[in-house]
Amino acid sequence: MNDLLRIHKLLENKFKGKIPKFLILTSVATILEIFSIGLIVPLVSSLLDVKIILFNHLDLSKFNLNNILLVLFFIYSLKTIYLIKFNRWQFNLIYKINHNLTNRLFEKYINFDYYNYLKKKLI
Structural domain spans, the chain: 2-122
Measured distance CA(14)–CA(20) in Å, rounded? 12
For 58-106, the pLDDT digits (tens) are 555 566 777 777 888 888 999 999 999 999 999 999 999 999 999 998 9
> Model pTM?
0.71
pLDDT at 82: 96
Three-class DSSP labels, the chain: CHHHHHHHHHCCHHHHCCHHHHHHHHHHHHHHHHHHHHCHHHHHHHHHCCCCEECCCEEHHHCCHHHHHHHHHHHHHHHHHHHHHHHHHHHHHHHHHHHHHHHHHHHHHHCCCHHHHHHHHHC
For 13-71, the pLDDT digits (tens) are 888 889 899 999 999 999 999 988 887 776 777 667 666 555 555 555 566 777 777 88
Calculate the average pLDDT of the chain.
Answer: 82
